[in-house]
Amino acid sequence: MDYEMIIVEKLGRIGRITLNRPERLNAFNVQMGLELLDAIRDFEGDENIRAIVFGGAGRSFCAGDDLSGMATPGYERDHQTDPVKSYVFGRGRFTHVVHAIRRCPKPVIGMLRGHAYGAGLNLALACDMRVVSETGLLATPFIKRAMGTGVNLLHYYVGLGVMTEMAFLGEPLDAAKMERYGIANRVVEDDKLEEAAMELAAKLADGPTISIGLTKAAIRKGWFQDVDVAYDYQGYAQHLANQTEDRAEGGKAFAEKRLPNFVGR
């Protein structure tokens, strides 16, 4: 697939996806959604890629859906008779990308500067970790235009009171609050953002990729579940990880008192 709305790079063991509509603050549309799905699938199937960095060109990560027009030539919206189904499951919707990121068996790092609003908020929260510039702003601003909204994945990070305030007022969280709430894993100076995100990605790319993927799945599936169910998912992850080459290398390295050399298999 030829990409027009995103930039895709393979930098050694790190895959990088950059939203590339800086003149529109990387506003999300149908074409961008379909391109993102293709890029994530490509990285997921590439054994050489062991971590993914997801960012935006220019001064913002993603300002949300492109309210001036979601369609571009050849990438029209599909309008279904059920408006809820159209919003959630329509062609190229951000919800499909959120699902793809959360299901991807490789770690995905969000590299955030400027706006992460609406759809951009959801894309940011779908990532496994977030490195945030001091300029970062996270918001669900729908109410500013009298639009309805919901939890937007925020229930994984903030309490009901904060979620309600964000939804009712549409005001953003700054980088300091994102760090306080555990949304930001790192907050850095803006000119250090790329360096910090790539450094974290490199650490993950050196790790036991399959075991990380199994752990990610167990965490995602076990969150909000009864403790017994959560431990079941943990047990599956442990059992399957025990069958990998990296698990054997990890045990050998421990016995030999050296750092392991993981190969991602």
Q: How far is CA 144 from CA 94, 138, 172, in A?
A: 20, 15, 12
* CATH number for the domain that contains residue 44: 3.90.226.10
* CATH number for the domain that contains residue 245: 1.10.12
In a shared domain, residues 228 and 189: no
Mean pLDDT for 220-232 is: 97
Is 40 exposed, middle or buried (CB count within 10 Å of its CB: 0-12, 13-18, 19+)?
buried
Instruction: Say how far apart CA 47 and CA 63 lie, in whole Å.
Output: 32
Segment (H or E) for 60: none
Containing domain of residue 222, as a range?
209-255
pTM: 0.94
Question: In 3D, which of 92, 41, 89, 101 has the Cα closest to residue 66?
Answer: 92
Band of pLDDT at residue 69, cut at 50, 70 and 90: confident
Residue 133 lies in a domain: yes
In a shared domain, residues 137 and 229: no
Q: What share of the chain is helix, strand, coil (3-state, %, to 5)?
A: 45, 15, 35
What's residue 1's pLDDT?
Answer: 79
What's residue 260's pLDDT?
Answer: 96
Mean pLDDT for 85-114 is: 95
pLDDT tens, position by position, 164-178: 999 999 999 999 999
